[in-house]
Amino acid sequence: MRIIISGGGTGGHIYPAIAIANELKRLDATTDILFVGAEGKMEMEKVPRAGYPIEGLPVVGIKRELTLENLIFPVKLGQSLFRARQIVRTFRPDAAVGVGGYASGPLLLAASMAGVPTLIQEQNSYAGLTNKVLARWAERICVAYPGMEAFFPAAKIRMTGNPVRSDIQFADQQVSAGQQLFGLEATRPTLLVIGGSQGARTINEAMEAGLTQFVDAGIQVVWQTGSAFIERARKAVATVGSSLVKAYDFIYDMDKAYAVADAVVSRAGALSVSELCLVGRPAILVPFPAAAEDHQTKNAMALVDRDAALLVRDQAARTDLIPAALALLNNPAQRQQLRTAIKTLARPDAAREIAEEVVNLMKR
């Protein structure tokens, strides 16, 4: 099998794509997989790290406000479509998979024009613009939330859930390894703070202001800040002067991070929500309010409405997040209730189901 997987821009697109690729290789180790991403985006570093080759397109996104940058969009799109057609002709894929993000548009369009069967994987509860446009040509659309008929033809939809990294499924077996990796004490409660692959300014500023409260309560904090905030975070940790707080710009060993967490503070991107369901960790979700069509709030409410997570609005995070986290860590009964409820929403076989849909496309 020869398969192209395209898309990226954020970890929420990249890691599901890698999970699908890994499952395709598990189904058939001889499968030849090529990734296509956007030049300068994080997939150009993360995908090779996972062991797969990647080609870059010069594509850029459209700004939602009127800017001069939008003037170059048609030029970049034309260049990207030309390059995508070259890649399809050279690689000769049997199928193409799009996971959302700038690069999936030109690549899946070029694949469709060449008669290559295509599959879209939509992670969010509100479909992205690229996937809504591509749905016209896609043969199959794999989704993670009910009600996606509002965006896609019902006959093409398959409810699979979101694929996550395979190691996440075995996080509970990594507690000791996680404590050793992050230098944690086994007897103290631990809060994991993750603002997505690029960090979250509101969450970071709330944590910066509240570190002393966690230290005074004897709570350990594993804090992923993103690269833009890491220097401020390190200064804040140094000011507090406690080894209980560990700050990182990016955490690669997320299975171990989840393993040590008694509670999690997180954005509500589709990947984060899916991982939290799979590992069954009590969570406080702080949706990013500027996400397209406020889809992170919709993702979060899918859990909150089932009593499977707590919600703190972004605009209230600077005042409400620290008290909410402290209260949750001091309430074992509530943590257990959230843990039980969120586990019922997990879809551990999502990557396998999507990989099988790709294989079925080629068979047809």
> Do 232 and 192 share a structural domain?
yes
pLDDT by 10s per residue, the chain, length 364: 999 999 888 877 898 999 999 999 999 999 999 999 999 888 999 999 999 999 999 987 766 666 777 777 788 889 999 999 999 999 999 999 999 888 899 999 999 999 999 999 998 888 888 889 899 999 999 999 888 999 999 999 999 999 988 788 889 999 999 999 999 999 999 999 998 666 689 999 999 999 999 999 999 999 999 989 999 999 999 999 999 999 999 998 999 999 999 999 999 988 899 999 999 999 999 999 988 778 899 999 989 999 999 999 999 999 999 999 999 999 999 999 999 999 999 999 999 999 999 999 988 7
E-strand ranges in the chain read: 2-6, 32-38, 54-57, 95-98, 118-122, 140-143, 157-159, 190-194, 220-224, 245-248, 263-266, 283-285, 310-311
> Do 150 and 177 share a structural domain?
no
- Strand ranges of the sheet holding 190-194, from the earlier edge strand across to the other edge: 245-248, 220-224, 190-194, 263-266, 283-285, 310-311
341 marked among binding-site residues: no
The domain total for the chain is: 2
> Do 255 and 314 share a structural domain?
yes
271 marked among binding-site residues: yes
> Do 206 and 81 share a structural domain?
no
The pair of structure tokens assigned to 247 is: 């700050």
Q: What is the pTM of this model?
A: 0.83
195 marked among binding-site residues: no
Cα(46)–Cα(11) distance, integer angstroms: 9
234 marked among binding-site residues: no
270 marked among binding-site residues: yes
Query: Which pLDDT belongs to residue 198?
Result: 65
Using an 8 Å Cβ cutoff, are 299 and 125 in contact? yes
Cα(71)–Cα(60) distance, integer angstroms: 11
10 marked among binding-site residues: yes
Residue 162's nearest CA partner among 302, 362, 35 is 302
> Do 98 and 242 share a structural domain?
no
> Do 250 and 149 share a structural domain?
no
> Do 273 and 190 share a structural domain?
yes
> Do 236 and 138 share a structural domain?
no
Q: Residue 235 CB: number of other CB atoms within 10 A?
A: 12
> Do 50 and 187 share a structural domain?
no
Give the CATH number for residue 137.
Answer: 3.40.50.2000
For the four alpha carbons of 187, 193, 197 and 201, in that order, the dihedral sign comes to negative
Residue 59's nearest CA partner among 42, 75, 35 is 75
Q: Find the domain containing 94 and state its range.
A: 2-162+348-363
For the four alpha carbons of 3, 58, 44 and 126, in that order, the dihedral sign comes to negative
> Do 352 and 211 share a structural domain?
no
Report the residue count for the chain.
364
124 marked among binding-site residues: yes
Cα(9)–Cα(103) distance, integer angstroms: 9
Give me the torsion for CA of 330, 332, 337, 341, rounded to 10°. Answer: 80
Cα(190)–Cα(168) distance, integer angstroms: 18
The pair of structure tokens assigned to 248 is: 């990182």
274 marked among binding-site residues: yes
12 marked among binding-site residues: yes
Q: What are phi and psi of 184, to 5 degrees?
A: -105, 155
The pair of structure tokens assigned to 30 is: 């001889």
Cα(244)–Cα(210) distance, integer angstroms: 13
Using an 8 Å Cβ cutoff, are 328 and 83 in contact? no
Mapped onto helix, strand or coil, the DSSP state of residue 69 is helix
180 marked among binding-site residues: no
> Do 178 and 144 share a structural domain?
no
- List alpha helices for 242-331, DSSP H: 254-260, 270-279, 295-304, 317-329
> Do 280 and 244 share a structural domain?
yes
Query: Which pLDDT belongs to residue 158?
Result: 96
